[in-house]
């Protein structure tokens, strides 16, 4: 009988001979090829679901069995993207490549989705943020939209990655193992300084009880769903990534050129940016955050006051108001 605390991976390793060895080999192969932990997690999860469904190693699954399984995934898909279907196919391809064996099953060709991304209007973004009364939750939405962050980039964000004096956010080792800098919105500084005093228990800016101290992705998705309901937004497909799409689209509409947007999003290829922007305005403008266009403009005088308050926090190192060493390192990093 399955223990309630057991994960699917643990169950598979216990029930299926050689499965643990196969997953250890998968981990080694992923790391050797310079792929991310997120990719390893996705491949492991999909292969484990598949193995448990048939109670055998993936290489022992017949073509008829796989076709049956993929058909079920398509029928259960909640959207046209068929994410579970695609990732299962990708996982199987990688698994057989790892084994160095010829494919024993015929895997379908995955066609790229050509759907336009879901983009919120500026007024919808204002409603989404202003109607979120929980301070931490509102700040999370402001960071995702205001910096165009992927959810994993948000949860990986550490105090030392945010430089208020330079007004920059350092996104480290994101998709494709690339680093990038994005502007910190002036509209975020006051709330961020206040947040530092009230939420300073972790090295991560947005901490949670699980995920090694990070806030869980499911928790962030839930708070977005609640915010969408409060804002009365009825568009289908509004997810966390829609805030990132909105960030890029609003920057384009505000006059920022497509090359700068590509850099801010961390895209490797310009084609990726063009897919959902569909406009190439190459007039160069100073990089900024679209969050600053939603609310009343923050004057340089007000911004300097917030910065001064932020700097004053550095003298609280010996007080009880600022005790998190990860936050104290933030000041040391700013030279």
**Residues belonging to the active site:** 150, 175, 241, 244, 267, 276
Q: CA triplet 214, 220, 226: central angle to 5 degrees? A: 155
Distance of alpha carbon 155 from alpha carbon 217, whole angstroms:
8
Distance of alpha carbon 98 from alpha carbon 95, whole angstroms:
5
**Residue with the two structure tokens 């690339």:** 178
**Residue with the two structure tokens 């698994």:** 95
Spatial CB neighbours of 223, under 8 Å, sequence gap ≥ 6: 132, 134, 137, 140, 141
Distance of alpha carbon 131 from alpha carbon 138, whole angstroms:
8
Distance of alpha carbon 73 from alpha carbon 229, whole angstroms:
28
Residue 18, Ramachandran bin (φ over 0: left; ψ between -120 and 50: alpha; else beta)? left
The answer to whether the CB of 169 falls within 8 A of the CB of 181 is yes
């Amino acid at each position: 009988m399955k223990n309630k605390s057991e994960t699917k991976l643990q169950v598979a390793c216990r029930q299926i001979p050689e499965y643990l060895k196969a997953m250890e080999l998968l981990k080694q192969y992923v790391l050797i090829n310079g792929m991310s932990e997120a990719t390893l997690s996705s491949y492991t999860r999909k292969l484990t679901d598949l193995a448990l469904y048939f109670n055998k190693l993936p290489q022992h699954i017949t073509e008829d069995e796989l076709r049956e399984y993929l058909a079920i995934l398509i029928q259960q898909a909640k959207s046209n993207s068929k994410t579970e279907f695609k990732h299962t196919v990708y996982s199987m391809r990688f698994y057989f490549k790892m084994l160095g064996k010829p494919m024993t099953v015929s895997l379908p060709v995955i066609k790229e989705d050509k759907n336009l991304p879901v983009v919120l209007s500026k007024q919808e973004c204002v409603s989404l943020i202003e109607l979120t009364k929980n301070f931490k939750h509102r700040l999370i939405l402001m960071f995702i939209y205001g910096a165009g962050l992927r959810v994993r980039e948000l949860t990986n964000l550490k105090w030392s990655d945010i430089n208020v004096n330079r007004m920059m956010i350092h996104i480290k080792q994101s998709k494709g193992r690339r680093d990038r800098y994005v502007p910190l919105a002036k509209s975020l500084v006051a709330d961020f300084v206040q947040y530092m005093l009230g939420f300073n228990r972790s090295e991560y800016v947005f901490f949670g009880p699980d995920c090694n101290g990070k806030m869980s992705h499911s928790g962030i998705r839930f708070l977005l769903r609640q915010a969408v309901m409060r804002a009365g937004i009825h568009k289908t497909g509004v997810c966390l990534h829609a805030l990132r799409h909105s960030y890029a689209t609003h920057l384009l509409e505000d006059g920022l050129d497509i090359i700068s947007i590509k850099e801010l999003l961390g895209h490797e290829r310009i084609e990726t940016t063009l897919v959902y922007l569909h406009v190439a305005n190459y007039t160069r403008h100073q990089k900024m955050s679209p969050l600053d266009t939603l609310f009343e403009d923050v004057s340089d005088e007000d911004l300097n006051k917030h910065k001064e308050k932020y700097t004053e926090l550095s003298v609280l190192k010996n007080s009880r108001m600022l005790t998190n060493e990860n936050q104290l390192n933030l000041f040391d990093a700013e030279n």
